[in-house]
Amino acid sequence: SFVTRTNTCGELRSAHVGQEVTLYGWIQYQRQGLFLVLRDFQGLTQIIIPQDEAHSHLKELLSNAPVESVVRVTGIVSPRPPGQENPKMPTGDIEVKAETAEILNPCKKLPFEIKDFIKKSEALRMQYRYLDLRSFQLQYNLRLRSRIVMRMREYLCNLHGFVDVETPTLFKRTPGGAKEFLVPSREAGKFYCLPQSPQQFKQLLMVGGLDRYFQVARCYRDEGSRPDRQPEFTQIDIEMSFVDQAGIQRLIEGLLQYSWPEEKGSITTPFPSMTYKEALDDYGTDKPDTRFGMKIVDISDFLRRSDIQFVQNALSYPRGTVRAICIPQGARYLKNKDLESLKESAKSQFNQEIMEIICRPDGSLKSLLTKFLGEKQQSELIQGLNVQADDVVLLAAGEHKQVCSVLGSLRLKSADLLEAAGLVLRDPAAFHFLWVVDFPLFLPKEENPSELESAHHPFTAPHPADGSLLYSDPAKVRSQHYDLVLNGSEVGGGSIRIHSAEQQRFVLEKVLKEDSEVLSHLLQALEFGAPPHGGIALGLDRLISLIVDAPSIRDVIAFPKSFRGRDLMGSAPDYVTPAELEPYHIQVSWPLAEKEAKKS
């Protein structure tokens, strides 16, 4: 519709034979002046180049056109000769015999071929992103993303009465959370901040009585060089009044089920749920990949009576524990260098020693520890860990949280090694959603453990059962926060919010030691009849990348930034002149800037 072509390059079939069609697209491939393959957003069509003298001009035009030139072709749809059909192409039963053609724009020599199987460096792909976007995979990713977002809008707005509201991009600093980008203003010394999320605005919309808000929101975080993160990203942002945690969870389950692409199979609701403590104890992380087993097992009681010195040392501490994971068929699939690399990563990343126990084919154990263990203890250990022949056990002893964290990391690394060796543990077509709940409301600061910081953000409400602890022992308070995890990646997070100004002020001033004046507008709003409310934000980029099994979130974003937050295509960020900075009352130390430029 609205264009001069009659059909796209992906829709012609045997039913169109005999019709005259006009196609527009890019030359994907040309062979010896006999035929070419024309490509557009929907697919491929084979174009037959006429060989007779009457069409010599047309033959010369199409035979000499460079690959990726944009052309218009008019011709007759014909069946392919018997035996020349291509079942791999949706249009493989037909071809178009060209009658007229026009080169709309020739293409100069390409920096890389526009084919999915051709390997290109990511830097080159991002420098010529407009060419990379022509690939079938990126076309599919972006069109699927658009389709999912449209279905989400339908579900929220048309079926459940949500209001799509745009919130400001220029705002002010928010206490806690990620580092924000500063934007200079014309008032000397005053800066805007780009919001890391519309958190305050969506709460204020609830105070304003909108009841149900949603937005496909652009968010900004100045997190520097972090792998697979983007300085600007997109959230499906949601807030509701008069709702509890269960209500938000059911809404999101319905939203995902409604918008889920048919070609990816169906998803089952309700999603399973797990507490933060269970996740850490069993998987060593608050975002467990539940597609495979290898859970962490507490073996402290099995070894408490042993004479192993490092085990006894660990268990003598209040939070001391001995835990292990069992790697199925590890002795068969993992080499000695793999086991050494696992132990080395535990040492370098966590400063944690790891002991291994190998179960021989005859069921006996091979380990430095066996000489300290009687037959009964070895049997109990085998039973407790459900060890089979050729399995490998990795054991760690020490402080509870550290031991769980290191074993959680080794669990994922072991799975990668097993799969690289040919043992399939995680079905790439499986989608395992999981709710993680009952997070702590506050965590000790890394730089000063005697002080507390918000585990997520300062607007999260305490768990109803822990309300009194907030004023007596805030470190023990659980929150009404919930994370949505998919295949071991966090794809959403939200909470029930504090709607009492008094409680919000106490959290900011007494617990977090923050200047509440920065949030005076929100505190004031909460005093004017703020309803109970809660919400969630889904990370759209991460969600889509998991659905299409993309190696990076950059593969589902049209124009992403590089690992270092740079736009390699447009060379941003860039320098500006002193004259351009003058209205903002800013001066740059230019020698320093030039020095940094030389470094990069």
The Cα–Cα gap between 238 and 240 comes to 7
| Edge-to-edge order in the sheet of strand 232-241 | 163-164, 212-220, 232-241, 533-539, 489-496, 481-486, 433-437, 273-275
Question: What structural domains does the chain harbor?
Answer: 14-105 (2.40.50.140), 138-274+432-555 (3.30.930.10), 292-421 (3.30.1360.30)
Res 481: pLDDT: 98
**Residue 504: both structure tokens together:** 């919000």
Looking at the DSSP bridge assignments, the partners of residue 216 are 236
Beta strands in 53-93 (DSSP E): 70-79
Alpha helix segments (H runs only) across 208-294:
245-259, 276-283
Whether the bond into 573 is cis, omega within 30 of 0: yes
Q: Which of 486, 557, 565, 45 is nearest to 253 (CA)?
A: 486
Radius of gyration of the chain from Cα atoms? 30
Q: Which residues of the chain have pLDDT under 50?
A: none
Res 133: pLDDT: 96
Give the count of beta carbons closer than 10 Å to the beta carbon of residue 478: 20
Q: Give the CA dihedral 21, 25, 28, 34, nearest 10 degrees.
A: 40
Res 180: pLDDT: 92
The Cα–Cα gap between 446 and 453 comes to 9
Report in angstroms the alpha-carbon separations of 465 from 384, 462, 532: 34, 8, 17
Res 306: pLDDT: 84
Burial of residue 279 (number of CB atoms within 10 Å: 0-12, 13-18, 19+): buried
- The secondary structure element, H or E, covering residue 589 is none
The Cα–Cα gap between 44 and 63 comes to 18
- The secondary structure element, H or E, covering residue 211 is none
By the 8 A CB rule, do 215 and 544 touch? Answer: no
Question: Could you read off the pLDDT of 238-254 as tens digits, one per residue?
Answer: 999 999 999 999 999 99
Q: Which of 298, 328, 326 is nearest to 311 (CA)?
A: 298
Residue type at 291 in one-letter notation: R
Contacts with 238 (C-beta within 8 Å, 6 or more apart), sequence order: 156, 162, 213, 214, 248, 251, 252, 494, 535, 536, 537, 538
Residue type at 567 in one-letter notation: D
Res 372: pLDDT: 87
Relative to beta strand 232-241, strand 273-275 is unpaired
Whether the bond into 551 is cis, omega within 30 of 0: no
Q: What share of the chain is helix, strand, coil (3-state, %, to 5)?
A: 35, 25, 40
Alpha helix segments (H runs only) across 335-461:
336-350, 375-385, 400-420
Report in angstroms the alpha-carbon separations of 151 from 144, 184, 202, 254, 430: 11, 38, 22, 11, 22
**Residue 243: both structure tokens together:** 């709702």
Give the count of beta carbons closer than 10 Å to the beta carbon of residue 494: 24
Tell me, rounded to whole angstroms, the distance of Cα 320 from its chain centroid.
34
Q: Is the pTM of this model over 0.85?
A: yes
Number of residues that make up the chain: 600
First to last CA, the chain: 48
**Residue 357: both structure tokens together:** 């126990």
The b-or-e profile of 168-196 (16+ CB within 10 A means b, else e) is eeebeebeebeebeeeeeeeeeebbbbbb
